[in-house]
Amino acid sequence: MDSDETELQVERRPEAIPGVRAVVAAIASDLAGDASFRAQLAAVELASNCIRHHDSAEPFTLRASRTALTVRVEIEDDAGAIVPMSSTWPPPDSPSGRGLRIVAAVVDRWGSSPDSTVVWFEVDGPSADGVSIEEAADATRE
């Protein structure tokens, strides 16, 4: 697979979450190891944040793209800026405040647009034939 991408307008309802998971699973399906799972987990966390923390009735946008060894997911939410990750952990009894930490822990790279309406992440994984991103990069330098 050289490149693949998709875009989806996601309704702000909890019932939309399985569709987010399915889109990311499909685009990451032939990555070996836990790369597909990590991409799904991070995408669901970001999508859940859009549903939980914004009152807008307008959908948000999920973009997922794929190169041979990397999955990139972007969530664009025009309903408002995505709250940046706090420098401190929330109190143990707080029901929220851990989502971006989860994303940061399971992806290889992540960030947000300057206006914080787009959060993106990338997950690298070996392909089904076992070639890692490092091995592929080395092969292009030879």
Helix (H) or strand (E) holding 73: strand 70-76
Q: CA 75, CA 32: separation in Å to the nearest integer?
A: 24
In DSSP terms, 111 is beta-bridged to 120
What ranges do the domains of the chain cover?
Answer: 3-141
CATH of 3-141, one of 3.30.565.10, 3.30.70.20, 3.20.20.120, 2.60.40.10: 3.30.565.10
**Distant-in-sequence, close-in-space partners of 95: CB < 8 Å, separation ≥ 6:** none
Q: pTM surpassing 0.85?
A: no
pLDDT of 41 above 50 = yes
Structure confidence at residue 2 (pLDDT) = 46
pLDDT of 87 above 70 = no
Q: For residue 123, which of 62, 21, 40 has the smallest C-alpha distance?
A: 40
